[in-house]
Amino acid sequence: MSFKKDFMWGAATAAYQIEGAHLEDGKGLSVWDVCSHKPGFVKGGHTGDIACDHYHRYKEDVALMKELSMQAYRFSISWPRVLPSGTGKINEKGLDFYDRLVDELLAQGIEPFVTLFHWDYPNELFLRGGFLNPDSSDWFQEYTRVVVERLSDRVTNWMTLNEPQCFSGLGYQIGAHAPGLQMDNSYVLRVIHNMLLSHGKAVQTIRSYSKKQTKVGYAPVLYYIMPASNKPEDIELAKQQFFSCKEDSLFFSEPWWNEPIFYGKYPEDGLKIAEKWLPGIENFDISIAKQPLDFFGFNFYRSETVAGYDSEGKPFVHIPHAVGHPHTAFDWEITPEGMYYIPKALYEKYQLPLLVTENGLSNTDWVDLNGEVKDPQRIDFLHRYLKELKRAAADGVDIMGYMHWSFMDNFEWAEGYNERFGLVHVDYETQKRTPKSSAYWYKNIILTNGEQL
């Protein structure tokens, strides 16, 4: 059994990671433009100033997508490229770039999937408090309207926020990502609250101003917990743990983000944890975050924990992986079984079509003496994960598509150019693109709709 006939196969990228042209044609600064120039913030002192130069090479890149039989392309809009100050005056040259990109994709028969926010927050708005400012959701709503009014005559599929868990947690709590702050949890919770409001207002705006029928979702990454075995009691325990808030990981807990979006309220177990950081948060009006969605996007790379029972029948979690368990070059555990259990759990709870918005691995890829990039580990990784996704589909989970992360090697945030996630190798000195062996393997999967998995 293969995936459903209208299954969408594609790949994903993000604006700051590939576009370059960081100050060209009127673009404003983002927090990543600023932080990447801070000594020691990014490994090797790397920046996204040039990145993959996609801003100038988008036609070449779209042609490569066509060659590889991509049916869909998920990309993000650079907010400060469109609105250099975050609000107010529109940068027409910035909007024109996305106009041309969408037209080029459609001309090649590739469906655009647009993400409105993938971490490159306008620096001018950060200076006004960013997502700590109570007006921040209105700023995001204004930006959303500008983009939707320009592109919605051709774009059907929209996502509001990409991994807001990372932007808030890594950017405001830990400080490893832009804007590089280490703030008290009470402030981080306000950032999260305003991001959730931004999501809700953006969904309203997309539906109000879209010029054609639209599909709207978002793309979280969560604290994934899978069962220790396929025993019913282990599966049930894993779901209980996955759908509960954890004190040591509240900002990545599934209910803290999704219950406001789907139910219009914060989860009770999360409020009990948050009380000591922000008394009165239960009085924050989060109801606007609840807006009807057409699909649930999720980024999945690994499941760090599993849940099961000990020899005495007592439940426990955080079972460590065995010594020697396989890891990616980024030192992430390889857990393909999660691609079966997690979609099943999410679909059972929310009853929405699922879209895998990111999945892939960093690998030690280089161009060999024959001018080829052979990456058998990526092929094996994808084979294992897609096989599990197919198993979930066979069990009745409605999966609308799969977006590999990423289309090409790029600027990997705080890791700079030291991690290669792409199907296409990029020589950052010459900008030469070389499809890897995994790209051609994936092309065959696309052409057969996964029948050979």
Contact 147, 116 (CB under 8 A): yes
139 marked ligand binding residue: no
Residue 276 identity (one-letter amino acid): K
- Where residue 351 falls (left for φ over 0; alpha for ψ -120 to 50; beta otherwise) is left
Around Cβ 279, how many Cβ atoms within 10 Å? 10
Around Cβ 213, how many Cβ atoms within 10 Å? 8
Three-state SS letters, 85-99 = CCCCCCCHHHHHHHH
118 marked ligand binding residue: yes
Active-site annotation holder among 19, 104, 163, 254:
163
119 marked ligand binding residue: no
Contact 417, 411 (CB under 8 A): yes
410 marked ligand binding residue: no
256 marked ligand binding residue: no
9 marked ligand binding residue: no
**Alpha-carbon distance 137 to 201, whole Å?**
7
**Alpha-carbon distance 122 to 364, whole Å?**
33
Catalytic annotation present for 163: yes
User: CA-CA distances (angstroms) from residue 144 to 75, 200, 222, 287?
Assistant: 15, 11, 24, 19
**Alpha-carbon distance 390 to 31, whole Å?**
39
Active-site annotation holder among 19, 254, 337, 358:
358
173 marked ligand binding residue: no
Catalytic annotation present for 337: no
Q: Is the dihedral of CA 59, 65, 71, 73 positive or negative?
A: negative
| Residues ≥6 apart with Cβ < 8 Å to 189 | 274, 277, 278, 281
Annotated binding site for substrate: 17, 118, 162, 301, 405, 412-413
Catalytic residue list: 163, 358
Annotated binding site: 17, 118, 162, 301, 405, 412-413
